[in-house]
Structure 1
Amino acid sequence: MLRDRESVIEYHLGAREMSLIDLPTECSFGGNALRTTEDGGLGLANLVRNRLCLWSWEAGPDRDPGWVRSRAMDLRALLPDEALSTSLHVAGFACDIAAIFVLTHVGIFTVDLKSCRVAKVYEDGGCFDNFPYISFYTPGLRVASTKGPRMGTSNA
């Protein structure tokens, strides 16, 4: 997202062209995170008065492309009371686990978009932007896979 305007840069690989996608008018600067929608499209999460709003960028044959609010979650029902005493901030999105990170003055919480469960993942409230990275490395896995057939496989 661009910091000096409320837009996202879109790059078309085939045409090698850039364009700007304006954010919804309801989205204020500083409380937004780009995300991936369930179908792999462009999405956005923002906070408006303790409500986590999820948006999808949609284009159809019958209408111009635009933002559609797909869901709103009331965080007053999910977060502890002490987390709600000051303003909240969307601090990131983890695609692999479909979770939004919400910054509060008492710490950072994840909001699971599938189950609506909330978990406190960081105590200090001083971290504004998160770039979650999930990776696993199992050193013995590659060696085990090159030593012949595994259980349940055949040599044919």
Structure 2
Amino acid sequence: MGRFYTPYVQPRRGALVGDAVYFTVRRGNAIVKYDLGKDRLSMIDPPQHCLVHGIAVTAVENYTSLGFTCIQDSTLHTWSRKGDTEETAEWVQYRVIELEKTIPVTNPEDERSVVGFAEGVGVIFVCSGAGLFMIKLNSGQVKKVDEPGEYFSVLPYMSFYLPKTGNGGGHDATDLLHST
């Protein structure tokens, strides 16, 4: 790493689970936990087998548990943190998806990388030299959603709402969809 290397919080989407916000640090994929209620900062080690680039922390199980996703070789691994207390919590692997046949690589040196997730719907985004792909974790279904490019952090747009005002101004989403 060099003697001048400084760990930093990765500029990627974090996860909100209960009263805590989680982010990853770009040195061994350590996870920073900031407990909003206790105003306390702590570190969590990632699953032992996920010391690779291209990871995501997520909220799983109705936002009650911390999730972790990574790719090793050609396999997507998803983990969930289980335990009654911070001291007894451990990572439990809950899904493994083989990507070899579903997400192509255009160059043997190409790497697949986790670049984002859609909160609340169980979707992970993975990029390769062949494009950007969406994976539904409950079914393993894969869909190409964009062409090849430089992807670092995908923040999917899920929905919107523009409230109507009492004076007749403003529109709701239905009005906008019908007018376009």
Whether the TM-score (by the shorter chain) exceeds 0.5 is: yes
| Whole-Å separation in 2 of the counterparts to 1:65 and 1:92 | 24
Which of the numbers 39, 42, 59 marks the counterpart of 1:16?
Answer: 39
| Whole-Å separation in 2 of the counterparts to 1:120 and 1:142 | 28
Structure 1 length-normalised TM: 0.78
- Structure 2 residue 58 is matched with structure 1 residue 35: yes
Structure 2, unpaired ranges of 5+: 1-23, 163-170, 176-180
Give the deviation of 1:82 after TM superposition. 4.2
CA RMSD of aligned residues (A): 2.4
- Structure 2 residue 132 is matched with structure 1 residue 123: no
- Structure 2 residue 148 is matched with structure 1 residue 137: no
Deviations along 1:126-147, one digit per CA (max 9) or x if unpaired, are 112212232223624799xxxx
| Whole-Å separation in 1 of the counterparts to 2:58 and 2:129 | 23
Structure 2 length-normalised TM: 0.69
Which of the numbers 117, 121, 131 marks the counterpart of 1:93?
Answer: 117
- Structure 2 residue 96 is matched with structure 1 residue 72: yes
Q: For 1:56, what is the secondary structure of its paired residue?
A: strand
Percent identical across equivalent pairs?
30
Would you say how many aligned residue pairs link Structure 1 and Structure 2? 141
Which one has the largest radius of gyration?
1
Which has the larger share of helix?
A: 1
Change (3 A) 1:73 1:84: farther
Structure 1, unpaired ranges of 5+: 144-156
Which has the larger share of strand?
A: 1
Amino acid paired to 1:132: P
- Structure 2 residue 78 is matched with structure 1 residue 58: no
